[in-house]
Amino acid sequence: MTKSRRPRPRPSGRAGKRGSDDGRRGRASAPPRAGGRARHARDEAFFRYLVTGMRNGVLAFTRDGRLALINDEAYRIFDAAPRRDDLGRPVAKLLQQHPEVVRVLNSAFDVHLLPNRAELRLRPSGKVIGYTLGLVRDDAGEVIGAAMFFKDLTRVEQLEERERLRDRLAAVGEMAAAIAHEVKNPLAGIEVMAGLLRRKTADAPDVQTVLTDIITEAKMANAIVQEVLEFVRPIRLQVERTAVREAVQSAIQLADTKAQRGGVTIDVRVPASLPPVHGDRYQLTQLFTNLLTNAYEAMDGSGRITISAAGRSIDDGDDRRAAVLVEVADQGPGMSAELAERVFKPFFTTKSHGSGLGLAIVRKIVDAHDGSIDLQTAPGHGTTIRVTLPVTALDEGR
C-alpha cells in the first residue's frame, strides 16, 4: 500500500520570493507609462503630419496674438518664408505684408458670429482666399486662441470670371452682330461712292483731298466694326500641338503688314527645344501679332522689342502642370499703374485712333487657352507682357 505524501511546508523565504515577484510586477507597470509616452509622441507626430500635408492653409494663434501653428500651404499662399522661430512670434509680424488678414484675425475674439466660407483678396499678390475662422477652447471652455482654415481660390475666381465674361459676350455678341451688319453695308457704300467721285474729279485737288479723307475714315470705321465682331464672337479653338517659336515668327511677319514698324528691331529668344503647347496656331499667332502691333505704336518707330520664352510650371489648384512663359518686352514710354490696370479692358485706349480692343482680344485668346497674362510697366521704363500657356489641356493634366 502506497503511503500518501504529505505536502511539504513552504519555506518562509517563499513569501519573500513572491514579494519579489510582486515587486517585479510592480516595476513592470512602468512600460505602460513609457508606452503612453510613445503613443503620445506618435499622436503628436501624426497630428503634425496631418496638418503639414493638408491641402488647405492652417494658421492658429493664441489669445495674445502669437503664432501657435502654421503649415506649408499657409506659407505658400501668403508668400512667406518659413523661419525656425516662427512659432511664438506675433502673427502681425509674420503677416506684415497682409494687413487685411491681420485685421480679420484680430477681430476673431471680438465678434459674436465668426465668418464661415468668407472670401478675401490678398495684396499685393492679388490672390483670393476662402477662409473660415474658429475659436480654440480649453477643457474648461475658456477661449485660449483662434484658428483660420483657408484655401487659395484664385484659380476658381479666374474661371468664374471667365464664365461671367463669356455670358456677357454671348449677350452682347448677338446685338453687336446685328448692328455691325447694318453698319458695314452703308460704310461699304460710302467707300465705293467716294471712290467713284474721286475718279470723276481728278482735276479738282481740293475735292480729291476731301474724298481721300472720306475713304480713309470709312475704311477705319469698317476695321473697327470688324474688330468688334472679332471680339464678341466666341472663340472656337482648332487645337493642335503648336510650337511657340513658329507662332512668334508668323506673328512678326503679320504684324509688319498691320502697323508701321519703322526702325524697331526685334530680338527673338525662343528656344526651338521648348515643348509645344496645346493650342490653336492661328489664335496664338493673332495673340502675338496684337502684342507686337501695340508695341510698334507705343515705340513710335525706334527701339527694341525682346521676345523670350522658357518652360515653367503652373498651379491649377490641385496639381501642377507644365507650361511655357512668353515675355514680350518693349522700350516704349511705359505707363502708370492706373493705366496698367485698365489696358486689358474692352474699348480702353490712350491713342487718338483705334477701338481699344487689341489687348482685350489678347486676353480673350489667353483665357480660351486656359492660360494667364499680366504685365509689368512704369513710366519711362517700357512694358513687359507675360503670357503663360499650358503645355497640356486642363483635362489632360489631371
Asked if the model's pLDDT at residue 366 lies above 80, the reply is yes
Q: Mean pLDDT across the chain, nearest whole number? A: 81
Of 197 and 33, the structure prediction assigns the larger pLDDT to 197
Asked if the model's pLDDT at residue 82 lies above 60, the reply is yes
Are 228 and 242 in the same domain? no
Are 276 and 175 in the same domain? no
Residues in the chain: 398
Asked if the model's pLDDT at residue 371 lies above 60, the reply is yes
CATH code of the domain covering residue 141: 3.30.450.20
% of the chain residues with pLDDT over 70: 82
Domain count within the chain: 3
Min mean pLDDT across 3-17, 124-138, 200-214, 221-235 is at: 3-17
Decide: 274 and 284 in contact? Cβ < 8 Å. no
Of 111 and 282, the structure prediction assigns the larger pLDDT to 282
Which stretches within the chain are classed as H helix?
13-27, 30-52, 72-78, 91-94, 99-106, 154-200, 205-232, 244-258, 281-299, 337-340, 358-368
Last residue within a domain, chosen from 234, 249, 278: 234
Are 118 and 174 in the same domain? no
Of 340 and 266, the structure prediction assigns the larger pLDDT to 266
Asked if the model's pLDDT at residue 50 lies above 70, the reply is yes
Between helix 244-258 and helix 281-299 the angle, nearest 10°, is 50
Confidence at residue 245, expressed as pLDDT on a 0 to 100 scale: 94
CATH code of the domain covering residue 172: 1.10.287
Are 177 and 144 in the same domain? no
40 — pLDDT class (breaks 50, 70, 90): low
Instruction: Please check whether residue 10 lies inside any domain of the structure.
Output: no
Q: What is the residue whose three cell numbers read 512678326?
A: 252
pTM exceeds 0.75: no
Last residue within a domain, chosen from 181, 212, 234: 234
Instruction: Please check whether residue 9 lies inside any domain of the structure.
Output: no
Q: Residues 146-165: what's their mean pLDDT?
A: 80
The set of residues, in sequence order, having a beta carbon less than 8 Å from that of 319 and lying 6+ positions away, is 397, 398
Alpha carbon distance, N-terminus to C-terminus of the chain:
92
Min mean pLDDT across 112-126, 237-251, 349-363 is at: 349-363
Distance separating alpha carbons of residues 296 and 261, to the nearest angstrom: 6
Q: What is the residue whose three cell numbers read 515668327?
A: 249
Instruction: Please check whether residue 148 lies inside any domain of the structure.
Output: yes
Of 356 and 279, the structure prediction assigns the larger pLDDT to 279
Last residue within a domain, chosen from 219, 234, 249: 234
Confidence at residue 309, expressed as pLDDT on a 0 to 100 scale: 95
Of 52 and 306, the structure prediction assigns the larger pLDDT to 306
Of 31 and 285, the structure prediction assigns the larger pLDDT to 285
Are 242 and 226 in the same domain? no
Instruction: Please check whether residue 263 lies inside any domain of the structure.
Output: yes
Q: Residues 140-148: what's their mean pLDDT?
A: 93
User: Which domain covers residue 165, as residue numbers?
Assistant: 153-234
